Amino acid sequence: MRQEIALDKVTASLKGDSSIRCIFIKGSMGRKEYDEHSDIDLYCLVDESDEEAFLKRRLDHLRAYKEMIFHDDIFIIAPQIIAIYEDWLHIDLFTVTEKTIQHKDFFAVLYDPENLMEKYKNDQHLTITSEAFRDSVLDAAWFLFQHKKAANRGNHTWAPEMLRHTMRNVATILLARYASERALLGLKTIHRDLPMDIQHKIENIYELMTPSHHSESAVCIASLLKEQLEWIKGEMGEEDQQTYSFLVLMVETVLNGV
């Protein structure tokens, strides 16, 4: 597969860089779930004192596979090069230090002569915190509320967009119940980890998420959430009752057409 060829070539180049202490991958390749369409999330761990110099050499290493048709230098969780090649392969090259490395998702080590990644093995996870779960419940209700406002205003392009925001959070809620160990992956993994009947309901919701049918989509979302309300209530703490009550109110409002 081209991903494996690219990874071999870029990794070989990186291993020859004196700043590199460790090389590892995350994402679908790190979890060994990749296919011919997958991106490569490649991480280089360097010392803080070497970081600035290494950043200037990243493009040279990425060219070890092929010449790029596009690249960009951004910063989200760490300095990152987005590289796209002529065969449409996409590599994200992250540069991290021991202070900035993120302790989530699973990784696969490609080069680690000092065994630096051993201490992070027990930190690998895709679960969400109780705070993140509460935030997803709140945001699901909030964007149903925003959809109601947009629909009442007659803004039939913005209204379905609010439902898309709702569904990002509904997906997290559902994964927290049915596949809690993978909840951080969100929408991208519902085809793999949710029960088939729920998958079909979600597909139907998205089929209806259009300027003409978004109100029907909202009803389907509310119906799906209603089936989960008792379970959601059990997951919420005493301090979260206002959030839960808001969700119940929005579900009832949508279902009753108020």
Residues 233 and 211 in one domain: yes
Beta bridge partners of 109: 24
Q: At residue 159, what are phi and psi to the nearest 5 degrees?
A: -60, -50
Q: Domain ends where: 123, 153, 170?
A: 123
Q: Residue 108: what pLDDT? A: 94
Residues 9 and 76 in one domain: yes
The CATH number of residue 174's host domain is 1.20.120
Residues 108 and 26 in one domain: yes
Question: 46-77, pLDDT tens digit by residue?
Answer: 999 999 999 999 999 999 999 999 999 999 88
Question: 120-145, pLDDT tens digit by residue?
Answer: 888 788 999 999 999 999 999 999 99
Residues 105 and 157 in one domain: no
Question: 233-247, pLDDT tens digit by residue?
Answer: 999 988 899 999 999
Q: What is the pTM of this model?
A: 0.86
Residues 146 and 233 in one domain: yes
* Residue closest to 66 by CA, chosen among 46, 44, 84: 84
| Banded model confidence at residue 255, pLDDT cuts 50, 70, 90 | very high
Q: Which amino acid is at 155?
A: N
Other C-beta atoms within 10 Å of 109: how many? 17
Residues 150 and 211 in one domain: yes
Number of H helices, E strands in the chain: 10, 6
43 vs 121, which has greater pLDDT?
43
Q: How many domains does the chain have?
A: 2
| Banded model confidence at residue 223, pLDDT cuts 50, 70, 90 | very high
Q: Domain ends where: 106, 123, 140?
A: 123
Q: Domain ends where: 85, 100, 123?
A: 123
Q: What is the residue range of 191's domain?
A: 130-256
For the chain, give the number of residues: 258
Residues 31 and 71 in one domain: yes
CA distance 106 to 29: 9
